[in-house]
Structure 1
Amino acid sequence: MLDPLLSPKLLGYWTEANVHDAPDESGIYCVFRAARDPESEEMEVQELLHVGEHRSARWGLEHDEQREKWLAFPQPGEEIWYAVGLCGHANRGRLAAAMINAHKPRFNAKSPYLERFPFDETTVHIYGKKRKLQSVFTVARQD
């Protein structure tokens, strides 16, 4: 059997003010800390904080159990930004698990996928809004 290639396009970025505009479709969602770049003075993604998945990525973002922790995390001048990668039900959990295993976001600290990947070897190719993420990575089964 061929090992799957998951290739989500990360859409976004949405801020807290416009998170209601995020897609209401099946997929993963990424939560980032954004801050002003000292050279360009532009707000830019600095760190991936959390990865989640839901049949409605927008609903997942708006109702995730970690939400209050994300919103309390930024320092003055920083913001929380969101991105969504659309993915069908069949691979959504696997994609989220691979993202967590590869990137180890701080607010996924209790996830079993940090040290364990219960799926067959999976390659992920991310495109779109992928700042601070690995573009292409493979996660091997780790039971």
Structure 2
Amino acid sequence: MSEQLLSPKMLGYWTYEQLHDTPDESGIFCVFRAARDPETEQMEVQELLYVGEHRSARYGLEHHADQDKWQAFLQLGEELWYAVGLAGHANRERLAAAMINAHKPRFNNSSQYRDHFPYDETTVHIYGKKDKLQSIFTVERTA
């Protein structure tokens, strides 16, 4: 392996009812908590809850075992919003591992990548729908 630069474009946001519109392609997916901003009254991303990966981002979201757990976490008036970053098979797991290691989402607590990164130095440059995500970050291999 070697140093790697990964630049996913984060597509989205979709609500649970719109999941059928998410890309049916290889990539990572992010689950967010969205709530109404008290000043603007607009729904906005508040917190990254989970990062996952699947050969079909849509399938990974629609059939994820933790949907009920994520939904139960929400307060009255909040929604789950979803974003997808396309990534080929070769880089998908590495990208998800870097995202989990850097952002430490609350529902990735049991992930092996939360405190351990088994890949060589990886820099991620996120663009697109990136609210509550670091735009540029580097994760280094940990023993």
1: CA distance between counterparts of 2:71 and 2:59? 16
- What is the CA distance between 1:2 and its match in structure 2? 5.3
Question: In the alignment, is residue 60 of structure 1 matched against residue 60 of structure 2?
Answer: yes
Which residues of structure 1 form unaligned runs of 5+? none
- What is the CA distance between 1:39 and its match in structure 2? 1.0
- Secondary structure of the 1:47 match is strand
Distance 1:34 1:65, change over 3 A: same
Residue matched to 1:83: 83
Question: In the alignment, is residue 109 of structure 1 matched against residue 109 of structure 2?
Answer: yes
Residue matched to 1:48: 48
Asked whether the 8 Å contact 2:2–2:121 carries over to 1, the reply is no
- Secondary structure of the 1:23 match is coil
Q: Report Cα offsets for 1:5-56 as digits up to 9, x if no partner.
A: 0000000000011111000000000000000011111000000000000000
2: CA distance between counterparts of 1:31 and 1:2? 29
Asked whether the 8 Å contact 2:31–2:48 carries over to 1, the reply is yes
Question: In the alignment, is residue 30 of structure 1 matched against residue 23 of structure 2?
Answer: no
- What is the CA distance between 1:66 and its match in structure 2? 1.6
Residue matched to 2:17: 17
Asked whether the 8 Å contact 2:124–2:138 carries over to 1, the reply is yes
Question: For the aligned residues, what is the CA RMSD?
Answer: 0.9
Which residues of structure 2 form unaligned runs of 5+? none
1: CA distance between counterparts of 2:141 and 2:63? 30
- What is the CA distance between 1:3 and its match in structure 2? 1.3
Runs of 4+ in 1 over 2 A off after TM superposition: none
Name the TM-score, length of structure 1 as normaliser.
Answer: 0.98
Corresponding residue pairs, total: 143
Residue matched to 1:130: 130
